[in-house]
Amino acid sequence: MKTILKSTSLALLAILFIFSSCSNKQAGNAQMMSQVREYLVQEVSPKSITLYQNFPATLEGEQTVEIRPRVAGYIEKIFVDEGDYVKKGQVLFQLNANDIRAQVRSAEAQIKVAESQVATAKIELEKTEPLVEKNIISEFQLESVKTNLQSAEAQLAQAQANLANAKANLEYTMISSPTNGFIGTFPYRVGSLVSSSVTLPLTTVSNTASMRAYFSMNEKAFLQLIKNLEGATTAEKLANLPEVDLILPDQSVYAQKGKIEIASGIVDPQTGAINMRASFPNAEGNLRSGGSGNIRLPNYLEDVLLVPQPASYEIQGKHFVYVTNSENKVVNTEIQIIAGDLKDVFVVTSGLKAGDKIVVEGITTLRDGMEIKPKLAGEAVAQSNQPSNN
C-alpha cells in the first residue's frame, strides 16, 4: 500500500513539473517578445537637390593701371585725392616744368639757327649753279655747296626733333588718367622728386566697372564640375555653367550674379589646384580692387537619395546606416556620400537604392542583425537646400 502511494506522489510531482516548465517557457517567450524595441525608420526615395560649394576669392578691377612719371621732376600739384573716381584724360598730377620749358626755348632757338643755315646754303647753291653752267667754276665746287645744304637741312631736322621731344616732355609734366576708375594711395606728396625709375608708382587707377574674382579649386572638383556640361572644349563647357554668387566678408550675398569666364590650362604642381576667374558687374562701385570674398558654385543634382545625417555613423572615414530587411532585422550597410553644404542630410552616391528603409533614430543602440519593430516616419528630408553663406 505504501508503494502505491509513493508511486502516485511521484507521478503527481512529474505532472506538476511539466506544467511548470511549459508555463515558464511561455512566460519567457512573452518576455522576449516584449523586448523587441520600436525604432523610427524612413524610406529613401529619389529627390532633386542643389549643393553649393564655396571657394575663397580675391577681387581685382578689370583694369588696374600704375601711374608713373615719364620725366623727372618735383611734384608741384595733386589734383585728386585718394579714393576719388576719375575719368579717362583727367589730370592727376603736375610736375615742376621750369627746366623742361627752358629746354623748349633752347630747342626753338636751335631751329631758328638751323633755318638760317638752310637759307644761306640755298642762296649759295642758287649762285653756284649758273657759274657751273658757264664753266666758270668746277662741278666739284657745286657738289660741295649741295653737301653744305644737305648738312644744314639735317641740322634743321635734328633741331625740330629736339623741339618735339622737349614739348612732349613738357606735356608729360601733366600726368593724366589713362582710364576711368578709382584712385589708389599716394606714396609721394607735393614736393617729392620723382622720375621714371622710382620704385613705387605715383598711384594706381582701377577700372572697377566689372570686377574679376580669382579663385582656385582642386583638380578633382574641377573635373566633377565640368564632367556633365555640354561643349567640346573647356571654354564651351564653362560657358554653360550656371551663374555664381559672391559672398562678401560680412557674409552678405552680392546683389549681382557672376559668370565663370576662364580656367587656367595648367594644374599647379605644388597645390594640385586650377586657377579660375569669374566676373561680376560693378556699375555702382560697391566692390573694390584688393577685396576678398567667396565664390559660391551651385551643383544641381537630380534623382539622388538623401539620408538624414543622424541616421548615419562614421568609422575610419567610412559612413554606415542600418537598413531593415524583410524580417525586420537591421543590416549594417556602408554608403558613399557627398556632404556638400547641406546642414542635416547627406547625398548618397552608392550603397542604397530607392525604397530601402533606414533607421533614423537611436542607431547607437543597434547591432548588425538585431530584430526591431519598425515604425515608418513621415517625410523628414528637405526637398530643397537653402544655401548657407558660411
- Answer yes or no: is 18 within a domain: no
Query: 364 lies in which domain range?
Result: 38-48+302-376
**Whether residue 167 sits in one domain with residue 102:** yes
**Whether residue 255 sits in one domain with residue 141:** no
Please tell me the total count of domains within the chain: 4
Report d(CA 68, CA 194) in Å as an integer. 9
Report d(CA 348, CA 46) in Å as an integer. 10
pLDDT of residue 335: 92
**Whether residue 148 sits in one domain with residue 120:** yes
**Whether residue 218 sits in one domain with residue 287:** yes
Contact yes or no for 66/215 (Cβ under 8 A) = no
- Answer yes or no: is 2 within a domain: no
- Answer yes or no: is 105 within a domain: yes
According to DSSP, the β-strands at 373-376 and 38-43 are parallel
pLDDT of residue 27: 47
Helix (H, G, I), strand (E, B) or coil at 129: helix
- Answer yes or no: is 22 within a domain: no
DSSP labels, 274-337: EEEEEEEE-TT--S-TT-EEEEEEEEEEEEEEEEEGGGEEEETTEEEEEEE-TTSBEEEEEEEE
pLDDT of residue 49: 84
**What are the per-10-residue average pLDDT scores of the chain (390 residues)?**
49 52 49 71 88 91 91 94 93 93 91 89 81 76 82 90 92 93 92 92 91 91 81 87 93 94 87 92 87 90 86 90 92 85 81 92 90 78 47
**Whether residue 191 sits in one domain with residue 129:** no
H helix or E strand, kind and range, residue 157 = helix 139-172
**Residue located via cell numbers 601733366:** 174
pLDDT of residue 225: 81
- Answer yes or no: is 3 within a domain: no
**Whether residue 327 sits in one domain with residue 232:** no
- Answer yes or no: is 234 within a domain: yes
- Answer yes or no: is 381 within a domain: no
- Sequence-distant (≥ 6) Cβ neighbours of residue 295 within 8 angstroms: 54, 55, 57, 213, 215, 244, 245, 246, 247, 258, 278
CATH number at 133 reads 1.10.287
Residue at a domain's end among 300, 330, 352: 300
CATH number at 361 reads 2.40.420.20
- Can you read off the three cell numbers belonging to residue 202? 605715383
**Whether residue 116 sits in one domain with residue 160:** yes
- Answer yes or no: is 285 within a domain: yes
